[in-house]
Structure 1
Amino acid sequence: MIITVAHQKGGTGKSTLATNISGMLGATMLDLDKQHSSALWNHVRSMDDELESLEINVLKGSGDILPTSKSLSDEEIKLLCQKYKKNPNQVIVIDTAGFDAGINRLAIIMADMVITPVAPSQIELFGLQTFEQIIKEANRSLKCTIPCYVVLNSVVESSKLHLENVLEWIKGKDTFRLLNARLGRRVDFQRAYEEGMTVVEYNHRNRAAKEMSALVAEIMVELIHEEQIGA
């Protein structure tokens, strides 16, 4: 099964989500971002004997390749996606780049489930509206609806008004489904990333760990549901 973490806007928290989901599931990763944020996280992880590094692939020609990563051509990425597509025995998490490109659209089209992180702010809502057009175009090309789930990220108490605006906008859309779990704006997400850890490994008792655990559990329930629909 393919979980694609996607948004054409940068800085939404895609890599934080992708690394935590993959690390908590022990899943293979595909990092399509030229910044290689997920690959760098895994490289740091590989230097800690107490942590298990993950299998991670990156796009060939996207910059320097770390020794803990494997570079793949566009054609090899297509084959990799075909291997995981609708395969209930294996999961791959794809961390896409924060811009619109053909390889990112491929990751969306091939996905069994798309996860889109959105913070409660007006600029994030504008970004989601733009991303909606990409999803609609992908739906038209496939002649079906790609299951695209929105997770509210970096939520703070002071963002209540913007949060209500985002929620109201999503309610009226067939393109997106809203996940119940939310992630707050918590420094432990950054600290865990810097250590090559999931936030649960960093401190399983903190609020960030509890929020991420709830999110990953909900994602797996929805992924199983999508698998049953597609069976």
Structure 2
Amino acid sequence: MIITVAHQKGGTGKSTIATNLAVELKTSLLDLDKQHSSIIFNYKRAHAGLEPLDCYSIAESQCRFDGQRPVPEAKLDEFLDLFKGDPKTDLVIDVGGFDSPLNRKALFFGDYLLTPCAPSGTEIYGLQMFEEILQEAEDIAGIHLLTHVLINNADKRSQKRIAEMQAYVKGKPEHFELCQSVIGQRISFKTAYETGQSVVELHEGARTAKLARAYLHSADEMTALCAEIRHALGKGV
């Protein structure tokens, strides 16, 4: 099965979500972002002595980091067909924060589309633009595209903003479905990325009770998101 983490807007936390999902769901990972943030995460992971992810990039992107296998763009359809619709073989795609034919292909092949965004007016505008991309992609491919919108990097004290974003997403049922999970704005996600870990691993490996408490909420939120995706894909909890 393919989980495509996509949004044409940069800075929404796609790579953070994609790497955490790949670790916790034990999937392969394809990095389509020109910044190669997910591959850099995997590089950090390997150098920290952790089991690296099965990580891929597009050969033409000429990624210079170790720990990834290049896939020629001309062979991408064939590669994605290995995962599409197969419940025994899973892949997370980290889509770049821009619109391109390559990134649209990741939408076509996705069994589950996930779009992270922060709760703000600017992000609502970004979602409006992304809905236009989904509609254009639908017209080209002749298939219906629905993405699950994840409220990410949220200040839990701003419940009004969260509620406004939730209301907007619920009002766009043709292309958007609201995730039940909400991911908070916490330093633990940056700490986990810098050390090549998921936030769940960060919490489980905390050296003190104080750190364990500090990482607990992020770990619980990511665990809940993974359970939500597993359920949607028919994999149970």
Whether these two folds match at TM > 0.5 is yes
Give the count of matched residue pairs: 224
Task: Give 1:192's aligned residue.
Answer: 192
Structure 2: distance between partners of 1:85 and 1:71: 19
Post-superposition offset of 1:212? 0.4
Structure 2: distance between partners of 1:181 and 1:105: 25
Alpha-carbon contact 1:31-1:56 (below 8 Å) kept: yes
Report the AA paired with residue 219 of structure 1: I
Between stretches 83-92 and 156-165, larger displacement belongs to: 156-165
Unaligned runs of 5+ in 2: 205-211
Structure 2: distance between partners of 1:147 and 1:127: 16
Paired residue secondary structure (1:136)? helix
Post-superposition offset of 1:74? 1.2
Post-superposition offset of 1:46? 0.9
Distance 1:185 1:75, change over 3 A: same
Paired residue secondary structure (2:60)? coil
Between stretches 159-168 and 39-48, larger displacement belongs to: 159-168
Report the AA paired with residue 61 of structure 1: E
Task: Give 1:129's aligned residue.
Answer: 128
Task: Give 1:229's aligned residue.
Answer: none
Task: Give 2:209's aligned residue.
Answer: none
Could you list the per-position Cα deviations for residues 153-191 of structure 1 after superposition, in whole angstroms to 9, with x for gaps in the alignment? Answer: 011134333222211211121211111011000100000
1:219 aligns with 2:218: no
Task: Give 1:84's aligned residue.
Answer: 83
Report the AA paired with residue 123 of structure 1: T
Post-superposition offset of 1:20? 0.3
Alpha-carbon contact 1:8-1:98 (below 8 Å) kept: yes
Post-superposition offset of 1:136? 1.4
5 Å-filtered alignment, 1:1-231, equals 1-49=1-49, 51-173=50-172, 174-204=174-204, 205=212, 206-224=216-234
Unaligned runs of 5+ in 1: 226-231
TM-score of the pair, normalised by structure 2: 0.90
- Name segments (4+ residues, structure 1) moved above 4 Å: none
TM-score of the pair, normalised by structure 1: 0.93
Paired residue secondary structure (2:165)? helix
Alpha-carbon contact 1:181-1:215 (below 8 Å) kept: yes
Task: Give 1:228's aligned residue.
Answer: none
Could you list the per-position Cα deviations for residues 167-225 of structure 1 after superposition, in whole angstroms to 9, with x for gaps in the alignment? Answer: 12111212111110110001000000000001100114511000000011101111228
